[in-house]
A and B are shown apart, each in its own frame.
Chain A
Amino acid sequence: MTSILFFEQLLNGIQFGTMLFLMSAGLTLIFGVMGLINLAHGSFYMIGAFSAALIASLTGSFWLALLASLSGAAIAGVLIEIIIIRRLYRRDHLDQVLATFALILLLSEGVRWYFGAFPLYLDIPENLNGTLPILDDIIYSKYRLFIIFMGLLIAVGLYILISKTRLGVRIRAGQNDRQMISALGIDISKLYTIVFALGASLAGLAGAMIGAIQSVEVGMGEPILILAFVVIVIGGIGSIKGALIGSILVGVTDTIGRIFLPELLKIFMESASATSVGSSIGSMLIYILMALILIIKPSGLFGKT
Chain B
Amino acid sequence: MKKFTTTLVALLIMGSTSSFADGHKVKVGMITTLSGGGSGLGIDVRDGFMLAVKGNKNISVITKDDQRKPDIAVQLADKMIQSDKVDVLTGIIWSNLAMAVVPATVNQGKFYLSPNAGPSKLAGKGCHKNYFNVAWQNDNLHEAAGGYANSAGFKNSFILAPNYPAGKDALTGYKRYFKGSLAGEIYTKLGQKDYAAEIAQIRASGADSVFFFLPGGMGIGFMKQFSQSGIKLPVVGPAFSFDQGILKAVGDAALGVKNTSQWSKDIDNNANKKFVKDFQSEYGRLPSLYASQGYDTGKLLISAMSKAKVKDKDKFRDALRKADFSSTRGKFSFDKNHHPIQDIYVREVIKEGKILTNKIVSVGLKDHSNAYVSECKM
Contacts and interface: CB of A to CB of B under 8 A. Distances in A.
A120 interface: yes
A271 B37 contact: no
Given A275-B186, A279-B189, A283-B189, A217 B197 contact: no
A258 B250 CA distance: 25
B249 A215 contact: yes
Q: How large is the interface on B (under 10, 10 to 19, 20 to 34, 35 or more residues)?
A: 35 or more
B249 A118 contact: yes
Contacts of B197: 9, 12, 255, 258-259
A279 B249 contact: no
Given A8-B200, A271-B185, 17 more contacts: A1-B204, A5-B200, A9-B200, A119-B245, A123-B251, A141-B228, A144-B196, A212-B224, A213-B194, A215-B220, A219-B37, A219-B39, A258-B197, A259-B198, A259-B200, A275-B185, A276-B163
A21 to B, nearest CB: 15
A182 interface: no
Interface of B: 34-37, 39-40, 43, 163, 168, 185-189, 191, 193-194, 196-198, 200-201, 203-204, 217, 220-221, 224-225, 228-230, 245-246, 248-251
Contacts of B163: 276, 279-280, 283
A222 B38 CA distance: 13
A15 B224 CA distance: 17
B220 A214 contact: yes
19 contacts: A8-B203, A112-B35, A119-B217, A119-B249, A131-B229, A144-B196, A210-B193, A215-B221, A216-B249, A218-B36, A219-B36, A219-B37, A259-B197, A259-B201, A262-B186, A279-B187, A279-B188, A279-B189, A283-B163
Nearest to A272: B185
A215 B193 contact: yes
A279 B225 CA distance: 21
Interface string A249-277: 00000010011001000000001100110
A217 B37 contact: yes
Contact of B217 (A12, A121, A214, A283): A214
A132 to B, nearest CB: 10
A180 interface: no
B86 to A, nearest CB: 24
Nearest to B288: A118
Contacts of B220: 119, 214-215
Contacts of B203: 8
A108 to B, nearest CB: 7
A118 B187 contact: no
Given A213-B225, A219-B37, A272-B185, A119 B246 contact: yes
Nearest to A131: B230
A181 B226 CA distance: 51
Nearest to A120: B249
A16 B186 contact: no
B196 A141 contact: yes
Given A112-B35, A213-B224, A223-B191, A255 B196 contact: yes
B19 to A, nearest CB: 41
Nearest to A132: B230
